[in-house]
Copies of this chain bind each other. A is one copy, B any other.
Amino acid sequence: MSATRHAPLPGPFRLQRGGTLQDGTIAFETWGTLDAARSNAVLLYTGLSPSAHAASSPDDPRPGWWEPMIGPGAPLDTRRLFVVCVNSLGSCFGSTGPASTDPRNGRRYGKDFPELALEDIARGGGEVLRHLGIGRAHAVVGASQGGMVALAHLALFPGGARHLVSISGTMAATPYAVALRSIQRDAVMADPAFRGGDYPPEDPPRAGLALARKVGTVTYRSAEELGQRFGRSPSREGRDFAVQDYLAQQAARFAGAFDANCYLRLSRAMDLFDLAAHGAPSEVFRRSGLESALVVGVELDHLFTVQEQAVLADALRAGGIDTSFARLDSLAGHDAFLVDFTAFDATLRPWFAARSP
């Protein structure tokens, strides 16, 4: 069963860095009911790798990646909010991306998929709202890459949202994050199975993707968490230490599920994004029409540092936006929003409760 729906991209859909897509589509899922005034929509952008399946529903009872956050009585309370989660343009879970077929020639886009910008992903989200007849979102919400896309959305659609929730996002990636992501892309491209991007779908560069995900896993978590969870416990799978088993498990899961060209496009788009390309951030926010914003950062996040969250909150305030800034203590580091639901419930629940659509 699937709860996935699709919104068409107007064609030809011109990408920001060049190239066009024909008959493109954006996959999305929804929870709750759009009210008569079409004023209660919460647009949710994902991190680099999740699908639009953020929560379970009657049509797809599998738990979603933000299951405890969305539903009746949850922080994103579907008794009053209509939550819309989009699969990013360029991803491989229903939206058009490198793993999709180009209708112009019947072949997979593969390495010929155009370069991607986070702004393209935001325009995809905008098309989903238009498809649903929503002029202005109650809130736009995003975490990690999704937080960056949410900022792109505000820049592209002034007046498009009343509220913003940015979780462990950034206005522009740090050189440290760029370095780590560039290494991950190197790992994929160095795998001979990558074949310059021309791998057959049934024989993808799994080893390269696995290596990339191992690097990712270390950056998504905190050293403190790895220390507490694994210590120097021995491996149960013939390696030296249990922490290596953990990396291998995370890597195998990802390498079996994600397309390499999609990964490369999405990863590089994060590096290249810079909100300042749209003007001084405070001016971008002033033009955005936002009423309020919530910025959430995690102290032990070394990929999207809490300092970057503070800078974002300052830029929002400089733009005249009523901004709350929550610094969370979580051992989970950058991944806190995916695992530390208690802390996020406590932060998001009162904030959304105080803002009626």
A residues lining the B interface (CB < 8 Å) = 172-176, 178-180, 182-183, 186-187, 190-192, 207-208, 211, 214-215, 217-218, 223, 226-227, 229-232, 239-244, 247, 268, 271-272, 274, 302, 305
Name the B residues within 8 Å of A247 (CB-CB): 179, 182-183
Question: Cα distance A332–B228 when bound, in Å?
Answer: 26
Check A186 against B214 for contact (C-beta < 8 Å).
yes
Name the B residues within 8 Å of A211 (CB-CB): 183, 186-187, 190, 211
Question: Cα distance A108–B48 when bound, in Å?
Answer: 45
9 nearest A-B residue pairs (beta carbon): A176-B223, A175-B243, A175-B226, A175-B230, A183-B214, A182-B244, A176-B226, A179-B243, A179-B218
- Can you list 6 residue pairs at the A/B interface with Cβ under 8 Å? A176-B226, A178-B244, A179-B214, A190-B211, A192-B192, A232-B274
Question: Cα distance A244–B191 when bound, in Å?
Answer: 19
Question: Cα distance A232–B227 when bound, in Å?
Answer: 32
Name the B residues within 8 Å of A207 (CB-CB): 190
Check A178 against B241 for contact (C-beta < 8 Å).
yes
State the oligomeric state as a number of copies.
Answer: 2
Name the B residues within 8 Å of A173 (CB-CB): 232
Name the B residues within 8 Å of A243 (CB-CB): 175, 178-179, 182
A5 to chain B minimum Cβ distance, whole angstroms, is 35
Question: Could you say which of B176, B187, B229 contacts A187, with CB atoms under 8 Å apart?
Answer: B187
Question: Could you say which of B174, B178, B187, B214 contacts A240, with CB atoms under 8 Å apart?
Answer: B178
Check B305 against A174 for contact (C-beta < 8 Å).
no
Check A240 against B305 for contact (C-beta < 8 Å).
no
Name the B residues within 8 Å of A271 (CB-CB): 240-241
Task: Knowing A211-B190, A244-B178, say if A232 contacts B172 (CB, 8 Å).
Answer: yes
Check A180 against B218 for contact (C-beta < 8 Å).
yes
Q: Nearest chain-B residue to A302 (Cβ)?
A: B223
A264 to chain B minimum Cβ distance, whole angstroms, is 12
Name the B residues within 8 Å of A232 (CB-CB): 172-173, 175, 178, 274
Question: Cα distance A175–B225 when bound, in Å?
Answer: 9
Q: Nearest chain-B residue to A274 (Cβ)?
A: B232
